[in-house]
Structure 1
Amino acid sequence: MADKTNFTKEEWTLLLESPMIAGMAVTAADPSGLWGLLKESFAGGTALTQAITGANTNALVKAVVTEFSNSEGRSAARDGLKAKFAASQPSDLKLKAIGSLRQVSALLDAKAPDDAAAFKAWLRQISQSTAEAASEGGGLFGIGGVQVSDAEKATLTEISTALGS
């Protein structure tokens, strides 16, 4: 089983960023307003919490979540995300996020092949949970909208492709 020692500092930071990137890609595909953004952000946080407490969680996922639970790990992820997305236009966020997930996929295949499938499945689950967190296209508070928009469905497909599934 792979852990932090299997990766360079930059590679490990990419893995730390990846759960947030998986959610960001979906959120950027079809922004849901402030209330939707909060719900979608909360979905990513919930996925992190579930991974740390889950009995069947993959060891590499647990290592990333454990690292993310300390201030050094959160700072590394935050700083990496700032550097990656700071100069981006909203329309570029999704494309950059999908590109980063492709890098994560290649990294996992190369350095953690035994953990790659479970880690990628976790990232896909984060993306799906984010997409389902807020109704899209409805009126006030999403009433009358759809659970997952066509743009989000397309992005979920792009994420699966980027992750090699």
Structure 2
Amino acid sequence: MADKSSFTTDEWTQLLESPMLAGMAITAADPSGLWGLLKESYAGGSALAKAIADPGANTLVKALANDFSTSEARSAARDSLKAKFAESQPADVKRKSVEALRQVSVVLSTKAPADAAAFKNWLCQISQATAEAASEGGGLLGFGGVQVSESEKATLAEISAALGV
């Protein structure tokens, strides 16, 4: 089973970014205001916390989640994301996130073939949870609208295709 030592520093940073990228692509596809942003952000963070607590979690997912709990790993991911998305518009964020997930897929398939499918499915679950976290197109405080917008559905499909799921 793969762990942090199976990857270069840059590859591990790509993996550390991947849960955030999975959520960011959805959020950028159909921004849903402050409350929606908060709900959608929480969905990705809770996936990391669940992976740490889940005894049945894939070993690579668990290794990443445990490493992400360190300030060093969070700083590496944050700094890399800042550089990647500096001065980006929402459409750019979505496109760059999906492309980065495509690169993560290649790294996983090459360096961790036994863990790749489970990790990619986990990223798709994060995207789905993010899409379902806040209603889209609603009125005051997000009441009404649809659970997952057409833009989010299309982005979920793009993410699945990028990850080869």
The letter of the residue matching 1:129 is A
TM-score normalised over the length of structure 2: 0.98
Residue of structure 2 equivalent to 1:102: 102
Q: Where does structure 1 lack aligned partners over 5 or more consecutive residues?
A: none
Tell me whether 1:51 sits opposite 2:51 in the alignment: yes
Unaligned runs of 5+ in 2: none
Alpha-carbon distance between aligned partners in 2 of 1:122 and 1:61, rounded to the nearest angstrom:
8
Deviations 1:22-70 (A, max 9, x none): 0000000000000100000001111111011012100000111111001
> Is structure 2 residue 63 aligned with structure 1 residue 69?
no
Aligned to 1:144: 144
State whether residues 29 and 90 of structure 2, in contact with CA within 8 Å, keep that contact through their aligned partners in structure 1: no
After TM superposition, the runs of 4+ consecutive aligned structure 1 residues lying more than 3 A away are none
Separation (CA, whole Å) in 2 of partners of 1:63 and 1:80: 19
Would you say how many aligned residue pairs link Structure 1 and Structure 2? Answer: 165
- Give the RMSD, CA atoms, in angstroms: 0.6
Q: Deviations over 1:117-164 (max 9, x none)?
A: 000010000000000000000101111110000000000000000000
Match of 1:136, SS? Answer: coil
Partners of 1:90 and 1:154 in 2: how far apart? 15
> After alignment, is 79-88 or 38-47 more displaced?
79-88
Is 1:4 the equivalent of 2:8?
no
d(CA) in 2 for partners of 1:161, 1:57: 23
Matches within 5 A, 1:12-91: 12-91=12-91
